A = this chain, B = another copy of it.
Amino acid sequence: MKENAPATGVWPPAATPFHADLSIDFERYIAHCKSLLADGAHGLAVLGTTSEANSLDLGERESVLEKLIASGIAAEQLLPGTGAASIGDAVRLTRHAVARGVRGVLLLPPFYYKGVSEDGLFAFVSEVIGRVGQTSLQIYLYNFPQMTGIAWPPSLIGHLIKSFPKTIVGLKDSSGDVAYMNRLLESFPGFAVFPSSEALLLAAMKKSAAGCISATANTQVGAIRALYDGWQGAKAEELSRAASAVRLLMQKYPLIAAVKAVLAEHARAPDWARVRPPLDPLSPAQRKELAAELSKLEAGATA
């Protein structure tokens, strides 16, 4: 039964590096994914917002998964995003991922139409589950209303859990809405809730969160893993303060660009900073400022 338990722990949403022609730099990508695992990630929540998955075409999204698995990363360490605005595209991506044996998938709500009803969202998810038609499918709802315009309503989540108890197993919450997160943690025991920021992780763990899927796990996975492992220990507050300080600094900037700028800095590889349109990279001034502020934090931490 253990393999059917929902995922727990630290699952970085691995950023996707691009060549100058905007194609995916798979060599750098796979090396990054392996180093995240080596540095303490329990698995990888690939192909989400931080990964710029919705800026990849459908074929690229499939090939990312295939190349990761071909590189030797275990499929059960992968939670890919397979959401799309249409049932058909979401089914294609989800089927592909399930066929390759992934641990589960992150599913965005259909994100074109706005003001849609709970019935409409239920029908969408229900069609996707039915058409994928695999009992091994485990879905983590992906909640990011700042991008999609749609928050998964708790009443709908309850309805989905009840209707598909073996399939709807968790939720990644990128909303930053603490009241929403707490409500889910309190309402649905055993439902795997992942806050998207290490700044919320300690409080969330005290309410039985599953772990953390955070953009900034791309740059400080070790610190987040230490906090995840030590949240009940004597140093929990200290670990939380350190990880949160980095997160709160980085989220003052456009977050995806900031994550990639720091990866570029760490690897001394300016190419890492590249994003696909419509996103912009940080300006040189922003990069310099962010690097300086991060150095100050690190100096403070070791002082």
A124 surroundings in chain B (CB, below 8 A): 277-278
Is A89 part of the contact surface with B, judged by Cβ < 8 Å?
A: yes
A279 and B57 contacting across the interface, CB-CB below 8 Å: no
Question: Other CB < 8 Å A-B pairs besides A116-B280, A120-B278, 8 of them?
Answer: A54-B85, A87-B277, A111-B112, A113-B147, A120-B277, A123-B277, A123-B280, A127-B277
A113 and B279 contacting across the interface, CB-CB below 8 Å: yes
* Count of identical protomers in the assembly: 2
Number of contacting residues on A, CB 8 A?
Answer: 38
Is A208 part of the contact surface with B, judged by Cβ < 8 Å?
A: no
Is A241 part of the contact surface with B, judged by Cβ < 8 Å?
A: no
B113 and A111 contacting across the interface, CB-CB below 8 Å: no
In the bound complex, CA of A220 to CA of B100 (Å): 50
Is A60 part of the contact surface with B, judged by Cβ < 8 Å?
A: yes
Is A136 part of the contact surface with B, judged by Cβ < 8 Å?
A: no
Nearest B residue (CB) for A111: B112
In the bound complex, CA of A263 to CA of B49 (Å): 39
Query: Which of A146, A278, A280 has its CB near the most chain B CB atoms (within 10 A)?
Result: A278
Q: B-facing mask of A241-269, CB < 8 A → 1, else 0? A: 00000000000000000000000000000
